[in-house]
Amino acid sequence: MLPADDVEAHHPLEIPNLQKLVSERTGLALPIRDVSKFSQALNVRMKALHLDSGSDYLDILVRGQETPDSEWTRLVPLLTTGESYFFRDPEQFALITEVILPDLLEKRTDSHTLRIWSAGCSTGEEAFSLAIAAHELLAGDEGWHVLVLGTDINEKALERARNGLFSSWSFREASPDFRKRYFRHVGSGWQLDPAIRSMVTFRSGNLASDTYPGTDSGLFSFDLVVCRNVLIYLTADAVTRIAGKLGQSLALDGYLVTGHAELPPQDLATLRPQVLRRLVVYRRQDFTGDYASQAAAAERVVAPVIVPVGSVDPGPDDSPVAPSVGETDTPTDPDQVETAYRAARSLANLGRYAEAAECCEEAIRRAPTSSEACFLLAQIVEEWRGDTEEAKRLFRRAIYLAPQSPAAYLELAALYERAGDGPHAKRNRLAALKLLEAMDQESTVSPYNEVTARQLVRECRAMVGKGDGD
């Protein structure tokens, strides 16, 4: 059997053939000039199958069908990015919850049926976010049948979605109140309310090669299709084909929402772009609604229907750690530090943790006193590498650099809690509570966007067992 890193070296002629087959079957863009990740995935699978020959593995893929037990279901998770979190891209979700869903619900009062498809749903956070949005908009109005379908090519991601159990990192753009309403703490994670889970159906789906729309597949006449952060990983030909099929899968007055700039303007034979609140959505070409009046109405909607935006959860520990003396000789340029930090946040949100960590480290090299970069790097190493000890060290360092900020105490508390260390968790949560109580209660708490001190005080008191009057 080949050593784990020798497939590319020993079978250079098979690499292009394997890339071509995988790209045709999945739509994934796998440039021939960049084979390292692809070769690593092949190494893992060939080693698992005890294969020495790249051509033998190619034969297995050619013969294999995309069934739950096929080799494709084992290879694809190694090639795809399964990053997701609740209410990802708050601006887009505000458009969905304040404009698109209310419009659809108003138009569906006769049928009392709403059909939503999260295409490329990964581990389920997006599909469940859509279900919660519909649930809150209906506000207990019985008699509605809401179908939320989540499909993904990655069967392992779908298994996690069906379990409905999420880590703290999945809530980094969601308020603590949201998590408290719909989840309960189970072990080291958060279990979704069964009522919301029952609204969503998950199943395997390949946007590139599946046949749709059609009644046999159930992929037809959707009121809303959300396909975000999927098309950017696909070839141009695959994007054009998929865009056409997604457009045909919409109801006449349905909406397609994609990630920003994921669809090129050319070759959208079945779709027509529409601008709402300076964001682009897509409608069927044969839809003849009044775009101008709808866009004007969208601008008048200002009150949010739900409160998704915020950031995550708590995390971890003890005595603050000072930065090392002489840690860097790199001159501090505030603009470059801010650029590196912003890049790190964006990369982390895309699940590109290695690159995000490098950007954080660059920011820290340039500004060793950047508590924000330390805080973000701690979140990354804990989520990406599972290195809780390094995360604790970085959170303690963030406390040293910003002793009046409660966030790092909250993160340390959560880390200790997940490790079963109740006393340390309570100590750090009480430290955070003291800082939060001294703040203006309506002020937001960095880096938890739009989460107020009052909300966090309430949550901390509940978790340490102190009533509002204590």
The secondary structure of 77-122 as a DSSP string is GGTS-----TT-SHHHHHHIIIIIHHHHHHHTTTT-EEEEEEET-T
Q: How far apart are the C-alpha atoms of 334 and 323, rounded to whole Å? A: 18
Q: Which residues contact 88 (CB under 8 A, 6 or more apart)?
A: 125, 126, 129, 173, 228, 229, 349
pLDDT at 254: 97
Read off the pLDDT of residues 371-380 as tens digits, 9 standing for 90 and up.
Answer: 899 999 998 8
Q: Which residues of the chain have pLDDT under 50?
A: 1-5, 7-10, 300-317, 324-331, 469-470
Q: How far apart are the C-alpha atoms of 341 and 256, rounded to whole Å? A: 32
State residue 247 phi and psi, 5-degree precision. -60, -40
Burial 327-356 (b: 16+ CB within 10 A, else e): eeeeeeeeeebbebbebbbebbbebbbeeb
The segment(s) of the chain belonging to CATH 3.40.50.150 are 90-300
Instruction: Indicate the residue type of 395.
Output: F
Q: Give the CATH architecture of domain 90-300.
A: 3-Layer(aba) Sandwich (3.40)
CA 198, 209, 89, 446 torsion: positive or negative?
positive
pLDDT at 225: 98
Q: What is the largest CA-CA distance in the chain?
A: 72
pLDDT at 303: 35
State residue 56 phi and psi, 5-degree precision. -65, -40
Read off the pLDDT of residues 401-460 as tens digits, 9 standing for 90 and up.
Answer: 888 889 999 999 888 888 888 888 899 999 999 999 999 988 888 887 667 888 889 888
CA-based nearest residue to 150, from 96, 88, 190, 204: 204
Assigned token pair, 348: 């982390």
The segment(s) of the chain belonging to CATH 1.25.40.10 are 315-464
pTM attached to this predicted model: 0.62
CA 352, 355, 357, 360 torsion: positive or negative?
negative
CATH of 315-464, picked from 3.40.50.150, 2.160.10.10, 1.25.40.10, 3.40.50.300, is: 1.25.40.10
DSSP string, 177-209: HHHHHHEEEETTEEEEPHHHHTTEEEEE--TTT
- In order of 123, 184, 186, 221, 311, the CA distances from 161 in angstroms are 4, 16, 16, 24, 21
What element of type H or E holds 418? helix 407-418
pLDDT at 445: 87
Where are any strands of DSSP class E within 228-294?
A: 250-258, 271-276, 279-284
pLDDT at 301: 47
Q: How far apart are the C-alpha atoms of 234 and 294, rounded to whole Å? A: 32
User: CA triplet 220, 222, 227: central angle to 5 degrees?
Assistant: 105
Burial 260-284 (b: 16+ CB within 10 A, else e): eebbeeeebebbeebebeebebbbb
Q: Is 271 strand, coil or helix?
A: strand
pLDDT at 469: 47
State residue 273 phi and psi, 5-degree precision. -70, 145
